[in-house]
Amino acid sequence: MSEKFDVIVIGSGPAGYVAAIRAAQLGFKTACVEKWRNEEGKGVNGGTCLNVGCIPSKALLDSAYKYHEAKDDLAIHGISTKEVKMDVPAMIARKGQIVKNLTGGIAGLFKSNGVTSLFGTGKLLAGKKVEVTDFEGKTVTYEAEHVILASGSNPINIPVAPVDNDVIVNSTGALEFQAVPKRLGVIGGGVIGLELGSVWNRLGSKVIVLEAMDSFLGMMDQQIAKEAQKILTKQGLDIRTSSRVTGSKVKGKEVTVTYTDKDGKEQTETFDKLIVCVGRRPYTEGLLAADSGVKFDERGFIFVNEHCATNIAGVWAIGDVVRGPMLAHKGSEEGVMVAERIAGQKSQINYDIIPSVIYTHPEVAAVGKTEEQVKASGEPYTIGTFPFSASGRAMAANETQGLVKIIAHAVTDRILGCHIVGPSAADLVQQVAIAMEFGSSAEDLGMMVFGHPTLSETIHEAALAVHGHAIHIANKKKKH
């Protein structure tokens, strides 16, 4: 008879490993299945995020920015540097060590919490049985009271630019360049494209971003998006919206890309490397047996309710494989929620208050509704903005680009959204997310005492500006 677990999680990315740890903390006999293997062929946890996503990309972003700062920005502080060089293989090796440390950390957390690691490919069978095929092809079937599907997502491929993992790469391949490409093309002007484009742009690549949509960062607040585009363009990114790629041809070590521009004219560009990052899709290949009974929605995501329960009792799905934004922190909180609901608790997630971040420099971050969404809803609203150029702390750090924007309901004053482009935007927006979770008004935020001098004061001033009370800029109260 096969071994039985209370909970089996398939996938150990941010959603899966958190779900497994929380389930074990709640006293359940828990196992976590993971198919990822490192370069040595050994099973490792962490999924896309830790291995080829969030973490390694941030390591490269920080390395690239430090190089840029040493090369171009330290003189204003009175610091003279001789010739600054970038050792790309050393940068890539540092990234790899960070990944190794963090994935190894999950193994330690599993051990300390009593989670059983099962390395191999997991498949859900009928009756909440999980078939695991290990790296040698041996198959074992386990039984479970509850199964949590957390298989994540993978990059979308497009026929007009097939990835060859040499000249044309996806986001994974873009993390492994051993030299700076002189000419770099990026198909897709979303989060991943901008972050990877920023890395290599700062290191010296001539970067052209081809975005099919007419607007830049169309899902974001457009005032912030336009400001971000202006800043990134000034940094050297050549961002071309309304540019739909129609073909590509690799010849030797370069690729020629054909695309139609905003006027419908055919254009070509030749690159040394081309990154395809047009989005991600849920990864469900081989995950479900035909008789598992689990349903999908019309977009190919596993169908779940607001608590991540599928249509099969005792089977749950979380993270990128279900509806909602593909964000690691969203998946992690779903993992906690599901584990606690299995334990009989009434945990839930406020999906209206999930922050999102683009880790360019400066960062772009948002939580809640955009001005466009509020306007479309017909709600009356007011806006407060504050530029980093008026922040003493930002001036001291020579980080004065961007602004904070807070949107509040014109009648109740409840904060509806916050949008930031600027230094430490990812951390600043979280302050507003906390305020929103507790139903804060803009006035509440404006009445709080913020430390001085801090970047956080920009949040304070933007909240005050909602009612025309900002101290360090001229006020322009605007009703809608």
CB under 8 Å, gap of 24 or more: what pairs does 300-308 form?
302/149, 306/348, 306/351, 307/337, 307/338, 307/341, 307/348, 308/334, 308/337, 308/338
Q: HSE on the CB side for 191, CA within 13 Å?
A: 20
Please give the Cα distance from 368 to 352 (Å, whole number): 6
Q: Just list the catalytic residues.
A: 452
Q: Cα angle at 352 between 417 and 214, to 5 degrees?
A: 65
